[in-house]
């Protein structure tokens, strides 16, 4: 069973700062799939980044301050300069399994 461990649980930053969110997968697979979502209170999750066979893709309408990377079983979501609307909870997901989330707060 795949387990995704996100860190940190909470990230306290200011607008304009850089955010680095981590997601570690318990298993390595030959083909790489992962997705990152943003969720604000009372809203459905929104797809930000998805990875198919090692190719990182931003979802439609997602600004380029959001980017993703991978090193082995460690995946990173980077928000280059936080905008006020970026303060939310972020989830990674792989093969239907979700991480526990990282809250980015002001």
Contact footprint for other proteins (CB under 8 A): 31, 33-35, 37, 39, 43-47, 50, 52, 59-60, 91, 93-101
Least distance (Å) from other proteins to the CB of residue 41? 10
**How many angstroms separate the first and last alpha carbons of the chain?**
34
CB of 93: closest distance to other proteins in angstroms? 6
Please report how close the Cβ of residue 81 comes to other proteins at its closest, in angstroms.
Answer: 25
CA distance 57 to 25: 19
Taking the CB of residue 8, how many other CB atoms lie within 10 A of it?
Answer: 12
């Amino acid at each position: 069973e795949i387990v995704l461990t996100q860190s940190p649980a909470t990230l306290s930053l200011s607008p304009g700062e850089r955010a680095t969110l981590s997601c570690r997968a318990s298993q390595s697979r030959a083909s790489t799939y992962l997705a990152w979502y943003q969720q604000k209170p009372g809203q459905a999750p929104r797809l930000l980044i998805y990875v198919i066979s090692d190719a990182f893709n931003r979802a439609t309408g997602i600004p380029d301050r959001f980017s993703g990377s991978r090193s082995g079983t460690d995946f990173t979501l980077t928000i280059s300069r936080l905008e006020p609307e970026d303060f939310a909870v972020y989830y990674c997901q792989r093969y239907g399994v979700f991480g526990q989330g990282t809250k980015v707060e002001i």
